[in-house]
A and B are shown apart, each in its own frame.
Chain A
Amino acid sequence: MELTLWTYEGPPHVGAMRIASSMKDIHYVLHAPQGDTYADLLFTMIERRGQRPPVTYTTFQARDLGGDTAELVKKNIKEAVERFKPKTLLVGESCTAELIQDQPGALAKGMGFDMPIVNLELPAYSKKENWGASETFYQLIRTLLKEKVSSLEKISPLRWKELGRRPKVNILGPSLLGFRCRDDVIEIQRILSEQGIDTNVVAPLGASPEDIERLIDADINICLYQEIAEASCEWLKRNFGMEYTNTIPIGIKNTIEFINEVHNKLDLPLTNKEELEHKSKLPWYSKSVDSNYLTGKRVFIFGDGTHAIAAAKIAKEELGFEVVGLGTYSREMARQLRATAKELNVEALITNNYLEVEDAMKKAAPELVLGTQMERHSAKRLGIPCSVISTPMHVQDVPARYSPQMGWEGANVIFDDWVHPLMMGLEEHLIDMFKHDFEFVDGHQSHLGNTATKTEDFINSEEKKDKNSKEGIIWTESGRAELTKVPFFVRGKVKTNTEKYAILRGIPEISDETLYDAKAYFS
């Protein structure tokens, strides 16, 4: 039994709903009690979808349990098929139905329908949402393509040459309730078509069962989100020999590497190599003089595997930040994230517990947090700027404007979204210069009039706060005065470090000099 206050991922059947809702002509009959219908609002509220998810919930009640719940399942399947006329039917159960073992998938298969039926077995007491999405996508592909396995020769990534057409790829993984998937797909298609590569099928987002059957017309697969599509790409490789890409095109370097990987796999010459770096404004914006202040900004990163790993690379290599924390809730990607963390010389945090994340965040004392909704709230409490880079997300993370994370435009969006929460370079410089003027204490003074706290009041209040440190160390007047001169957003960190230093050296009283000694010691 695990105590959870907030959870990063929903149950696995919500993952299955993400696949069903992303696609066309599919219906999902879910054996579940009425409360489970809440999941609809994830799609209609967070994503502002104008259609209900294509899901029929059997909504069995306590009084049904004594009778024949299997009959109830069949009745719902029959009604759903008649009403929605799906081309493929998904059948499964949520946590409660799993306990009563009606085996709805088997029931559906015995009802004599013509359409393909995918029986989803998603263990609700051991697996989670992303696993459920991945498994559903994989089972769906397997069901629709398994008959073609033996009859087909292995698909060569070079066959476009023999066939005398442009190379053709599938883009696999984008789904509803994924982070900015809608726009990533447009961006990646745009980039591929600039390189002379056509898109065969995008799935699950916007695909129909017929599209799934057409997957094998492509030369290679693009695995855009490993959490959702890796298992499917692996199956297509094993059974049809289809190669797939591993690079996630988030950030300039990764986008270029991605284009390289695609070209290599297809044996397509890359003719515009020099142009690529200029397709996004990120490199120049990052190089421009204003961005000097970004150097060494301490950043704490937590999210799903795909976005957290990519963010770490961009932060370090493309923006010149210092990564002081890196973690994920995607246990499936723990190994990969650990490797990235090792390269960055930070400890990897693999956890489902958002309080543990908040704790690590506090200890790392970052100047910027890149995280999920949970981290946004934690960072807000700690007074640290934050940008959301991963699900779980809120309605505000589904912006109206074109706002991808991937490709050239994605890199532009990332520059803006990560840098704006921090203060602008010149502004920071000015605050530093004027920070001791009474008009400018801890924030901005309105031109409407003087309402700022007087410097004396401010120091007095600081004195009260700092009088007794936990460890029994005394701050002398000069020490306190010096501490108040430290910019407010790093003051806590400086205080802790100085006390740590004092304990280490056995210094009972902290003076201004101790503060500078500590600063020198830790730098």
Chain B
Amino acid sequence: MSKVEFNKETGPREVFCGLTSIVWLHRRMPDAFFLVVGSRTCAHLIQSAAGVMIFAEPRFGTAILEEKDLAGLADAHEELDRVVNDLIARRPEIKTLFLVGSCPSEVIKLDLATVADKLNKRFLGQVRFVNYSGSGIETTFTQGEDGALKALIPLMESSNEEKLLLVGTLANNVEDRFKKIFRNLGISNIESFPPRQSTELPKIGKNTKVLLTQPYLSDTVRDLKHRGCEIISAPFPLGIEGSTEWFLAAAKAFKISELKVHEIISPLINRAKLALESHKEILKGKRLFLLPESQLEISLARFLHNECEMDLIEVGTPYLNKDLMKEEINLLPDNTKIVEGQHVEKQLDRVRESNPDLVVCGMGLANPLEAEGISTKWSIEMVFSPIHGIDQAADLAGLFSKPLRRNQILTTKTLVTH
């Protein structure tokens, strides 16, 4: 392991809670509905985070707890029953309904597992109910996906068929690319989790080889291991280096030669390196500060340093699973400063003191930093954009070079009027 510097920080945080992940999960599985059992704040959060993506009738909603629900728990269970009945009557196409716990439902100890059990019996053969918590007292942003996937594992049937299982939500086009490359490598049985339809869950067992596409799935990984799956240890497929290592690790698990991998992916690598050049020119030598939010920060830091030659000031992460991130941390330059957790005020002090060229941060902080003359990139874009794989390396770099390029354009002398 390289000599990185680990720090922990506690204090006031500025991050999304796990409910936010519903925004991309419901798009991945169009036959599923996510019903948050929470407060008006939860409903307001999801619609604010979803921003412009207002749909005809979205496949997520909130059962808002009211005063009368808090008076007695029995009432709350009955009320939830009623809301679910109404919802299913209106949306008969729903195949899986996620009951999503929130901060208030966790604090009043609303037992969503029991509710889901009861509903499963009543709607047997029509709708499946699963529950997980996306509460901000337990989860941060992307951890919501971890909870949702973990909740689906008990529904997955067993099979000893040998297969490659890609775990973590991917953009559909990226997923198709990956499958094509794996098939070219000679791996034919490939499935994804979450699947594109919530009812088409992959079967798993001792010959399932799990390859993670996202770094934030600690609980899911643990439960897949319990089901006998083999977890392939690899960095994450961000950038050329990460993706190459990722393909190599998968190939090794399927006893496919390294040579074969290089033969298939080297044209892709050459193409990607060419595409990366113009971005590297802008990013090279620029100083980067990553605030914690998506848990993608370490992989991004590795890519931006190793392939785009940026200097890393600080790499924040809301949560660090050293075991899962082992391969990534090994690729980081010596003396990288990783900070787990947050004290947002102290961290912003460090941002200002270090005078970075680019800060990766949440939407609440971006404009205030811009107003102080510090260029920013929204971390939420990383979970909405197709950034995985060799073919996307230049696009990923582009997300970071764009604010810097824009800054250059806007600060040229011709535009300064005062």
Contacts and interface: CB of A to CB of B under 8 A. Distances in A.
Interface of A: 1-7, 9-11, 13-14, 33-42, 44-45, 48-52, 56-62, 65, 76, 79, 83, 94-96, 99-100, 123-126, 128, 355, 373-374, 377, 381, 394
B64 interface: yes
A94 B135 CA distance: 14
Interface residues of B, number: 65
Interface string B1-42: 000000000011111111110000000000000000011111
Contact of A5 (B38, B61, B372): B61
B13 A59 contact: yes
Interface string B54-72: 1011101111111101100
Contact of A57 (B13, B57, B80, B135): B13
Given A41-B48, A56-B12, 10 more contacts: A11-B44, A34-B14, A38-B48, A41-B364, A44-B366, A52-B368, A58-B12, A99-B104, A125-B67, A355-B57
B371 A34 contact: no
Nearest to A124: B39
Interface stretch (B82-90, B271-279, B393-401): B82-90
A44 B62 contact: no
A56 to B, nearest CB: 6
Given A37-B15, A377-B54, A11 B39 contact: yes
A3 B367 contact: no
Interface stretch (B136-144, B168-176, B188-196): B136-144
Contacts of B108: 99
B370 A50 contact: yes
B17 A33 contact: yes
B69 A1 contact: yes
Contacts of B137: 33-34, 60-62, 65, 96
B103 interface: yes
A100 B107 contact: yes
Nearest to A394: B52
Contact of B41 (A10, A40, A42, A49): A10
B79 interface: yes
A123 B67 CA distance: 9
30 contacts: A3-B61, A3-B63, A3-B83, A3-B87, A5-B57, A6-B43, A6-B47, A7-B40, A33-B135, A33-B137, A34-B15, A34-B136, A35-B16, A35-B45, A35-B135, A38-B16, A38-B20, A39-B48, A39-B364, A45-B363, A45-B367, A50-B370, A58-B12, A59-B13, A76-B12, A79-B11, A96-B39, A99-B104, A124-B41, A381-B56
A65 B136 CA distance: 13
A34 B54 CA distance: 24
A355 B58 CA distance: 11
Contact of B62 (A4, A41, A59, A60): A4
Contacts of A42: 48
A90 to B, nearest CB: 16
A2 B42 CA distance: 13
B116 interface: no
Given A4-B61, A124-B41, A37 B14 contact: yes
Contacts of B38: 95
Nearest to B103: A96
A33 B107 CA distance: 11
Contact of A40 (B14, B82, B103): B14
Contact of A52 (B15, B66, B107, B364): B364
A443 B370 CA distance: 43
Nearest to B39: A95
Contacts of A34: 13-17, 136-137, 140
A363 to B, nearest CB: 17
Interface in B292-323: none
Contacts of B371: 50-51
A48 B42 CA distance: 23
A57 B12 contact: yes
A2 B323 CA distance: 42
A36 B76 CA distance: 23
A6 B54 contact: yes
A128 B367 contact: no
Contacts of A61: 137-138
A434 to B, nearest CB: 34
B70 A38 contact: no
Nearest to A128: B40
A128 B39 CA distance: 11
A366 to B, nearest CB: 19
Interface string B234-266: 000000000000000000000000000000000
A96 B106 CA distance: 9
Given A1-B76, A394-B52, A126 B67 contact: yes
B378 to A, nearest CB: 9
Nearest to B138: A62
A40 B136 contact: no
B67 A36 contact: no
Interface string B362-380: 1111111011100000000
B107 A99 contact: yes
A411 B80 CA distance: 47
B232 interface: no
Q: Which 3 A-B pairs have the closest CB atoms?
A: A35-B17, A50-B371, A35-B136
A96 B17 CA distance: 13
A34 B139 CA distance: 9
B49 interface: yes
A50 B40 contact: no
A41 B87 CA distance: 30
A45 B365 CA distance: 9
Nearest to A51: B368
A10 to B, nearest CB: 4
B345 interface: yes
A4 B41 contact: no
A126 B52 CA distance: 28
Given A50-B370, A83-B345, A126-B67, A4 B48 contact: no
A95 B12 contact: no
Nearest to B62: A4
A104 B51 CA distance: 32
A434 B136 CA distance: 60
Given A10-B40, A51-B371, A96 B104 contact: yes
A42 B45 CA distance: 10
Interface in B202-252: none
Contacts of B49: 38, 41
A176 to B, nearest CB: 13
Contacts of B80: 1
A3 B60 CA distance: 10
Given A10-B40, A34-B17, A40 B12 contact: no
A377 B53 CA distance: 10
A69 to B, nearest CB: 11
A44 B376 CA distance: 13
Nearest to B54: A377
Nearest to B371: A50
A49 B368 contact: yes
Given A1-B64, A99-B104, A52 B365 contact: yes
Nearest to B64: A2
Nearest to B57: A5
A377 B58 CA distance: 12
A4 B368 CA distance: 32
Given A3-B61, A125-B70, A36 B136 contact: yes
B104 to A, nearest CB: 5
Nearest to A381: B56
Chain A CB count within 10 A is highest, among B42, B43, B58, B364, for B364
A1 B14 CA distance: 29
A396 to B, nearest CB: 9
A65 B108 CA distance: 12
Given A36-B136, A58-B12, A95 B52 contact: no
Given A3-B87, A6-B54, A51-B371, A11 B15 contact: no
Given A5-B57, A34-B140, A44 B41 contact: no
